[in-house]
Amino acid sequence: MAERNMTVRRLGQRLALQLACAASYLPATRSRAQAVDVMGLRFPSPVGIAAGFDRSGRLGRRAARLGFGFTEVGSCTSAELFEMRPPNAGGRALVGLNLSLDPTRSSAELCADLTLAWAQADYLMLNLISPLSAPLLADERRAQLIDLLRALRNRAHALNSCGPRRVPLAVKLRSLPGQVPLALAEVLLELGFDGLLAAHDPGPPATRQRYVNWQNDEQQHLACAQIEQLQRLCGNQLALMSVGGVQTAAHLQARMAAGARLVQVHSALLHEGPYIARRLLVKG
């Protein structure tokens, strides 16, 4: 039964991506979004597509035609980075690459992945919520994690220092009630990272019931409270992003009022269709 449900979800996601790609070729309507400046970049809209929806970058920059300001491709393994085509030029959306952190590979190998991704992306996101990276979050491996984050940050800094092009580096962390990643946020501040993406959902499987549960005001309030905690710690030194449960314009406005500079959607794109960003950006 679980395997069948997984197959149905994958088919649904594939169909949603096909619909989004098709819709991106239709005449675009005037966007209600206002551009935002975050991490040294100008995003055409504060609403973006979370990693996992467009794993190989098929939609890419054309996401702007649907009202999105950015799309995050991946999560990418080393092999996928080598096979990936450069993001298409058919739109204005920024493209981020979400990088898997495999603890079985050396920091030199992961820095090589970052170098390859840097050449293709507008920003980079290190994924620390995937099952692959879970071992790095164990208490006994904290020193290894910090050393790896330092090595990757130093590599990004070196690349950014070589010329006029600067690619920000952020980290995706799980953030749940009572489990706000404040200690790791302090590490990111100390190391000079550009951003932190707080993922408020507990992870797969992304069921229909979980999507319905996010319509509860208390659940939305808890997510906003987590962003507020991180904002009090990070201030303006670390750009905060939020993903998980955003389904309405009110949800978007609440996350941004709490301190999120950018907000990503995934399940809402699957359930509500390719024009969800336009609906989220309607105020009032």
Between CA 82 and CA 101 the distance in angstroms is 16
pLDDT digits (tens, 9 = 90+) for 158-190: 999 988 899 999 999 999 999 999 999 999 999
Domain residue ranges of the chain, discontinuous segments joined by +: 2-280
pLDDT value for 282: 86
Beta strands (DSSP E) in the chain are 36-38, 41-43, 47-49, 70-76, 94-100, 123-127, 169-174, 195-199, 239-243, 262-265
pTM: 0.92
- Flag residues of the chain having pLDDT under 70: 1-11, 29-32, 82-91, 284
pLDDT value for 107: 95
pLDDT value for 50: 96
Which residues lie below 8 Å from residue 83, measured CB to CB, with a gap of 6+?
none
Reduced 3-state DSSP string for 210-235: HHHHCCCHHHHHHHHHHHHHHHHHHC
Question: Is the CATH number 3.10.20.740 carried by domain 2-280?
Answer: no
pLDDT value for 121: 92
Helix axes 217-234 and 182-191, enclosed angle (nearest 10): 40
pLDDT value for 84: 65
